[in-house]
Amino acid sequence: MSLVPTQARVERAAAPEVAIPAVVGADLTVPVLGGGSREYANLDHAASAPCLAAVRQAVDQLLPFYASVHRGAGYASQVCTAVYEQARQALRAFVGARRGDAVVVTRNTTDSLNLLARAVPSGTSVVLFDTEHHAALLPWRGPNVHRIATPAAVDAALAELDRALRACPVGPRLVVVTGASNVTGEVWPVARVAEVARRHGARVALDAAQLAPHRPIDMRELDVDYVALSGHKLYAPFGAGALVGRADWLQAANPYLAGGGATSQVTDLGDRLGVAWARVPERHEAGSPNVVGAHALAVAVDELGRNWAGVVHHERALTARLRAGLATVPGLTELSLFGPDHDRVGVVSFTVAGHDAGLLAAALSAEHGIGVRDGAFCAHVATTRLLRRAGAGEKRALRASLGLGTTAEHVDRLVAALRALVSTGPAGEYQLRDGRWAPVADDRPLPASLLGR
């Protein structure tokens, strides 16, 4: 089977132009070594995506009304409260939530999954794959957590999941699964995972951080109980995320944080305080709500929901172009969980034999105006296993990730730059500083308007 789509398939996929939401910073130029500048090629969408133009406009419209939420009688407070609550409905629709599902506004996916980990009933058996990125891997602790080693095929993964669930003691069970790998971009068979989980009476929590910006999600169709996602990956980088799912465990749990907003009444009982906690979702949203972030996230998911056909087409065409181009780079090995033909979003991680990933990333930035990620991508266990499986001697990989701000020129520039770096090496001189490569003489100025205070 071919390692990447054929050139004919790439050309067919890239042929028609499609309308996609505009992003802020699409025309950003950045300085390069030796003077001059280049249009910035942002190939690091998997870490954080730029702001949608519609989101920036919506935030600008809200800011004059900025005020307290749920606490004020003033008109501006009423506006902000209505905007904040309306955001829940947008998130509910975006993930296809069921009637009665709670929508808790959080900071990000990490916050959402830590909240869920605090809310699961005592003694719950948690089963997950070690391919999860740290937000989904680390919150679960204790003897009832069962980690399944990185699978090599979908059927093998499902069989291991079935065995792990059969071995769990009697009691509540939860399966945690990623929607799309933030290392390889491969889409997990979430509905099939849920089918196995249901046979054993287990609930399913979906880490949708990497899936949500790229593909539609329907909780009912996938048959999952919880979805966690992040605004900063969904073109709404204003500090909000969400946990959407069944309300019973969340309602029975102590508040995630103690403070104002999470209470319905506090009374002085002399030697102690009497506290009546609010119901879900307010129960887990102590403190002043991030109304700007919630509104930004709601606008972003609405924009994506109206434009899924264009979004998916754009990213599939560019992903095919990227993989075809990378296949021409000498010594390059693409990392993969399930094989080269498995469905994936626009995320590709790879190594180049004999070349340090950090040095390549530094040279791509300094000399070519290209932003990529190097390292283990907050998925250290999975990345290490995949590097070993690929036979790579490197301990770190490079990751190029696409999104709405990516163009064909960005992809082609990355491929050409990699070929040049492999052939002749960096043009500049680099050294390690605090564990990261940087130009010895870096003449690229940082923006004084942001850092000149």
pLDDT of residue 9: 35
Catalytic residue, from 51, 80, 168, 378: name it: 378
In whole angstroms, what is the distance from residue 413 CA to residue 41 CA? 8
- The CATH homologous superfamily for domain 7-51+307-441 is Aspartate Aminotransferase, domain 1 (3.90.1150.10)
pLDDT of residue 6: 35
Neighbours of 61 (CB within 10 A): 12
Residues of the chain whose pLDDT is less than 70? Answer: 1-17, 453
Instruction: Give me the helix-helix angle, 291-306 and 75-95, nearest 10°.
Output: 40
Residue in 240, 387, 214, 167 with CA at minimum distance from that of residue 314: 214
pLDDT of residue 358: 96
Q: CATH 3.40.640.10 residue ranges in the chain?
A: 54-306
pTM, rounded to two decimals: 0.93
In whole angstroms, what is the distance from residue 259 CA to residue 255 CA? 9
Could you give phi then psi for residue 59, rounded to 5 degrees? Answer: -65, -45
Instruction: Find all residues with CB under 8 Å of 233, minimum gap 6, and list them.
Output: 45, 46, 47, 48, 49, 109, 209, 210, 212, 213
Is domain 54-306 given the CATH code 3.30.930.10 in the classification? no
Angle at 321 between CA 315 and CA 324, to 5 degrees: 135
Q: CATH 3.90.1150.10 residue ranges in the chain?
A: 7-51+307-441
DSSP letter (8 states) at residue 169: P
51 a catalytic residue: no
